[in-house]
Amino acid sequence: MGATQRADQISGIVGGVNQSRHSFSLRWTNGGSSYEQTFVVGPATVFKNGSWTDMKKGAQIKIEGKSDTVDTVEFVKSAK
């Protein structure tokens, strides 16, 4: 009760980005249900395969963090 939940490797598609608040919405599915949540990046957030400037609507990413604060953002390269 009231414990911080970990966002262990949620993979999804960026739905929108708020540059001034350093936040983004992420859409993903799990077990047939769809979810969307806003997450915040901070100065300690680690970016893999990209940077905050690559955070755009439609980007496919994988995140890890606590509650709505993201520790790691990994940009997933789509296979072509």
Residue 4 has pLDDT above 90, yes or no: no
Percent of the chain with pLDDT over 90: 74
Q: Tens of pLDDT along 23-38? A: 999 999 988 999 999 9
Residue 6 has pLDDT above 70, yes or no: no
> Residue 15 and residue 62: Cα distance in Å, rounded?
14
Using the Cα atoms of residue 44, residue 50, residue 56 and residue 57 in order, give the sign of their dihedral: negative
CATH 2.40.50.140 assigned to 10-75: no
Domain residue limits, the chain? 10-75
Residue 77 has pLDDT above 90, yes or no: no
Indicate yes or no: pTM above 0.85.
Answer: no
Q: What counts of helices (H) and strands (E) characterise the chain?
A: 0, 5
Residue 67 has pLDDT above 60, yes or no: yes
Residue 72 has pLDDT above 70, yes or no: yes
